[in-house]
Amino acid sequence: MLKQAVVILTALLVATVLAVGIVSYLHPMTATVVSVSLSRTLDGDPLADDAPIEWGIVEPDASYRFDDLTVTNTGNVDANITILSPLLPAGWTLTWAMNKTVIAPAASLSAPLILYVAADAAQGVTYAWDCTVEGTKA
């Protein structure tokens, strides 16, 4: 008797589901998190994180250059590229023509990196400062 009741209830449940017409669809989902990432080369050589850039011995009131600083956007969004050097000695300048430029993913920007040494730079002194190549979501 119990077995017959279970069979009848199962049949009623199947009939109800078929009558209502339940349909379901599976939708796989993905999401990619924003990534701002850069690689750098200086005159063709990879520039590792925290790698020093050596200008060597310089003279006052003179300019020095690396012919090619290349920045490549290895992230997945457009990035605004900025070179910062807030601790550069007074009167000195560091320029890169592509500074403050937006770069697309997988694209590269190249230009000389130029250092101008102030006319009043003290002779015999070793100067040190940091340069940051920064990429921010554009």
Per-residue pLDDT tens for 72-104? 999 999 999 999 999 999 999 999 999 999 999
- What span, in angstroms and rounded, lies between the C-alpha atoms of 131 and 68? 16
pLDDT exceeds 70 at position 1: no
Contact 138, 102 (CB under 8 A): yes
- What span, in angstroms and rounded, lies between the C-alpha atoms of 25 and 28? 10
CATH of domain 38-137: 2.60.40
Contact 49, 109 (CB under 8 A): no
pLDDT at 100: 95
Domain ranges of the chain: 38-137
CB-based burial, 100-109: b 16+ in 10 Å, e otherwise: eeebeeeebb
The pLDDT of 50-54, averaged and rounded, is 90
Which segments within 1-138 are labelled E, that is strand?
A: 38-42, 45-46, 62-73, 79-84, 93-96, 101-103, 108-117, 132-137
Closest listed residue to residue 126, CA positions, set 89, 84, 86, 85 = 89
pLDDT at 10: 63
Closest listed residue to residue 109, CA positions, set 84, 133, 85 = 133
Phi, psi of 57 (to 5 degrees): -85, 130
Phi/psi class of residue 12: alpha, beta or left (left: φ > 0; alpha: ψ in -120 to 50)? alpha
| pLDDT band (50, 70, 90) for residue 14 | low
